[in-house]
Amino acid sequence: MTPKETWPYADIVAKITADFPHESAATILDLLDEYKGVEKVRVVRCILHLANGGIDQLLELIGTANTDYRDVIYWAEYDLDDQRIHDFGQPFAIATETGYDCGQLSYIGGRPYLPSGTEIPMCAVCSARMCFFFQVALSAGHHWQHTILAMFHCISCCSEDALIPEMLTVPLKGAEIPLEFLTHYQTNFRIIIGDIATASYRNDYDPLIEYIPINSSTWRVGAKPQWLLDDETPGSYEALEATFLFQVPSGLIFPKCSGAPAQKTLNLEGQIVDAQQRHYELFLGNAVYFFGFGSPASEHTYILTQAD
């Protein structure tokens, strides 16, 4: 694992965004790249912790670290009685227990944060590389806290029976999800679950959708679902309880980057054609409800849609 593949970590970018609101994260990351010593991730966290949002302090600390990185670690991790109070080998939320603003990590378009080594998913229907639509980070206190969910969807194929995710044939409220269902129903879409502490920003992904921060109140992050129709909260999967994660508001559009290919759609004759809009749609613009089962590590997610 080279630093390039995992750099920068999501918690570091979130800390930079929170501490340096008037600078671009890229500018600060470029400065931090001037640290050439060992234990880069830990030392960078120490520098950010000590700089506390001051750009002059940041520059000075980078200089100090290049002379002797142990000074910076000592100042950041030990108190006046030589007791170790932080471990910046760990992500900020764990190292300082102050948490970070997950709002900064929830957005439409741009590039995703993914667990290291994760391939951009391929469509099971047409084998094309899928398009990154959005990601949502769940903050401390949520049952799935410190989790990033990244949503991919295929824009290269279209079929009548895959316009929305496959639905169960039983009444949806309280439904027990059949054992195999969740492992097979992600055909032309994919939900990737990452740990906020180790997910890394994918510079190698070419964005197709314009970056827009998500409004966590309309997405009901950490709240209860707002059903357009009847309550369709699922029951369980393999005896694991369902947790509501968030919902995509109905009618949402995903503006295309210039040069991004057209999304495939069906014309009135049912033939596959290029959609003419300057945006992509997800599941016909329906509201999409996201649930998880058990803990994030199980990676069992379930989505269903409703239209008004």
Chain residues that interact with Zn ion, rule: CB under 5 A = 123, 125-126, 128, 154, 156-157, 188
Which residue, 128 or 228, has its beta carbon nearer to Zn ion?
128
Which residue, 106 or 188, has its beta carbon nearer to Zn ion?
188
Q: CB of residue 154 vs Zn ion: minimum separation in angstroms? A: 3
Neighbours of 156 (CB within 10 A): 18
CA atoms within 13 Å, Cβ hemisphere of 177: 27
Q: CB of residue 188 vs Zn ion: minimum separation in angstroms? A: 5
Let me know: does 112 contact 135? Beta carbons within 8 Å: yes
Q: Is 274 exposed, middle or buried (0-12, 13-18, 19+ CB in 10 A)?
A: exposed
Assigned token pair, 213: 């921060």
Which residue, 20 or 280, has its beta carbon nearer to Zn ion?
280
Q: Please give the C-alpha separations between residue 300 and each of 11, 179, 183, in angstroms, as whole numbers.
A: 24, 11, 8
Which residue, 29 or 157, has its beta carbon nearer to Zn ion?
157
Which residue, 136 or 154, has its beta carbon nearer to Zn ion?
154
Assigned token pair, 300: 């069992």
Q: CB of residue 155 vs Zn ion: minimum separation in angstroms? A: 8
Q: CB of residue 158 vs Zn ion: minimum separation in angstroms? A: 8
Q: CB of residue 162 vs Zn ion: minimum separation in angstroms? A: 8
Which residue, 230 or 274, has its beta carbon nearer to Zn ion?
274
Q: CB of residue 190 vs Zn ion: minimum separation in angstroms? A: 11
Please state the length of the chain: 308
Which residue, 159 or 243, has its beta carbon nearer to Zn ion?
159
Which residue, 189 or 246, has its beta carbon nearer to Zn ion?
189
Residues 6+ apart with CB under 8 A from 67: none
Q: CB of residue 124 vs Zn ion: minimum separation in angstroms? A: 8
Q: CB of residue 87 vs Zn ion: minimum separation in angstroms? A: 44
